[in-house]
């Protein structure tokens, strides 16, 4: 993959929390709200959970193991908010419903849902075990749809809610050897667009707001693992590990603070859109929702030859 293929921003990107998304700016703004973060044991998920706690929200953290979430739980609790850990496989419908029911019994009705849990296998489809490939779809796409399917009717009945789906730059580009990941993230981004339109049908377009959020270039264990040895032996490794590490410039807290800001509702004009957390939200808001929608900004789309349109 050549990063130059996808272009380089001429407007400086943000690599640390700034202006409206700093801890100071968001202090207490999510007080009284109940939040859920999946994939919260480490990395981006842990940062999201702690940022929500810093903004005043009670936090339910969810991962495959409760023990692996101890550090996240302690970090959240240090900010004086309620926090409780739950073990759940997000691709298991029965487990998801049971877990979310338990959270609402323990903490109260859920106001904020962050679907962060995800997995990545770097292997071309032709060399993949299909079950391993499909597991990425199960966790990265089916998992968020299960949590949304469970909670959305409850949010509808209460008349409010915020859902943040952690997407990826990979949803918008073609990256060989990551078919399961790019496909599932593209599907999740498209689902976010469509679900927001369904909220409009319910008369709840601004009351329930959904976002597809790219967390930036975060060097996590998932992203830095590299392709398996047999794949490298067949296709080679065109770039060394240090080259790819240089592309990951963002700390997890940048995504965490962006999630906490979105949860406040201050970014509602960006609802239903794909957002890159490195791009200043103030600049996006200044563009205006009407213009963003009219010009099809921040949505998955197809560019045809001039004169051809994507007719129904």
User: What is the predicted pLDDT for the residue at 227?
Assistant: 77
Q: What is the pTM of this model?
A: 0.94
Q: How far apart are CA 203 and CA 272, in angstroms?
A: 15
- Whether 306 maps to a domain, the answer reads no
Q: How far apart are CA 69 and CA 46, in angstroms?
A: 8
CB atoms within 10 A of CB 7: 7
Q: How far apart are CA 250 and CA 231, in angstroms?
A: 28
User: What is the predicted pLDDT for the residue at 2?
Assistant: 63
What is the phi-psi region of residue 15: left when phi exceeds 0, alpha when psi lies from -120 to 50, beta otherwise? alpha
Active site positions, annotated: 181
User: What is the predicted pLDDT for the residue at 232?
Assistant: 83
- Whether 7 maps to a domain, the answer reads yes
User: What is the predicted pLDDT for the residue at 230?
Assistant: 84
Quote the domain boundaries for residue 37: 3-294
Number of domains in the chain: 1
CB atoms within 10 A of CB 179: 20
- Whether 37 maps to a domain, the answer reads yes
CATH value at residue 145:
3.40.50.720
- Whether 307 maps to a domain, the answer reads no
Q: Which two tokens stand for residue 89?
A: 């496989």
What is the phi-psi region of residue 296: left when phi exceeds 0, alpha when psi lies from -120 to 50, beta otherwise? left
User: What is the predicted pLDDT for the residue at 155?
Assistant: 98
pLDDT means over runs of 10, the chain (312 residues): 75 96 98 98 97 98 98 98 98 98 98 98 93 97 98 98 96 92 98 98 97 90 67 70 67 97 98 98 97 96 93 88
Q: How far apart are CA 251 and CA 245, in angstroms?
A: 13
- Whether 195 maps to a domain, the answer reads yes
- Give a three-class secondary structure readout of 117-186: CCCCCCCCHHHCCHHHHHHHHHHHHHHHHHHHHHHHHHHHHHCCEEEEEECCHHHCCCCCCCHHHHHHHH
121 phi and psi angles, rounded to 5 deg: -120, 120
User: What is the predicted pLDDT for the residue at 221?
Assistant: 60
- Whether 262 maps to a domain, the answer reads yes
């Amino acid at each position: 993959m050549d990063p130059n293929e996808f272009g380089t921003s001429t407007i400086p990107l943000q690599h640390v929390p700034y202006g409206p998304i700093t801890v100071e700016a968001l202090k207490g703004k999510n007080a009284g709200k109940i939040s859920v973060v999946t994939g919260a044991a480490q990395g981006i998920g842990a940062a999201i959970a702690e940022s929500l706690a810093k903004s005043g929200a009670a936090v339910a953290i969810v991962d495959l193991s409760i023990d692996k979430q101890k550090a996240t739980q302690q970090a959240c609790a240090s900010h004086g908010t309620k926090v409780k850990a739950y073990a759940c496989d997000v691709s298991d419908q029965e487990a998801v419903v049971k877990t979310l029911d338990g959270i609402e019994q323990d903490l109260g009705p859920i106001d904020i849902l962050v679907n962060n849990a995800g997995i990545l296998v770097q292997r071309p489809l032709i060399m993949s075990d299909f079950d391993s490939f499909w597991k990425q779809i199960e966790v990265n796409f089916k998992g968020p749809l299960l949590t949304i399917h469970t909670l959305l009717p409850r949010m509808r009945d209460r008349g409010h809610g915020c859902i943040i789906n952690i997407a990826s730059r990979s949803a918008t580009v073609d990256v060989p050897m990551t078919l399961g990941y790019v496909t599932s993230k593209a599907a999740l981004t498209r689902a976010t667009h469509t679900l927001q339109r369904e909220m409009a049908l319910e008369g709840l377009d601004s009351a329930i707001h959904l976002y597809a959020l790219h967390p930036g270039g975060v060097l996590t264990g998932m992203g830095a693992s590299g392709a398996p040895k047999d794949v490298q032996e067949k296709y080679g490794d065109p770039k060394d590990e240090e080259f790819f590490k240089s592309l990951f410039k963002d700390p997890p807290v940048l995504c965490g603070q962006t999630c906490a800001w979105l949860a406040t509702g201050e970014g509602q004009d960006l609802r239903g859109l794909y957002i890159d957390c490195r791009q200043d939200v103030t600049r996006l808001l200044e563009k205006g929702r009407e213009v963003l929608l009219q010009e099809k900004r921040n949505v998955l789309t197809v560019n045809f030859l001039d004169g051809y349109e994507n007719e129904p």
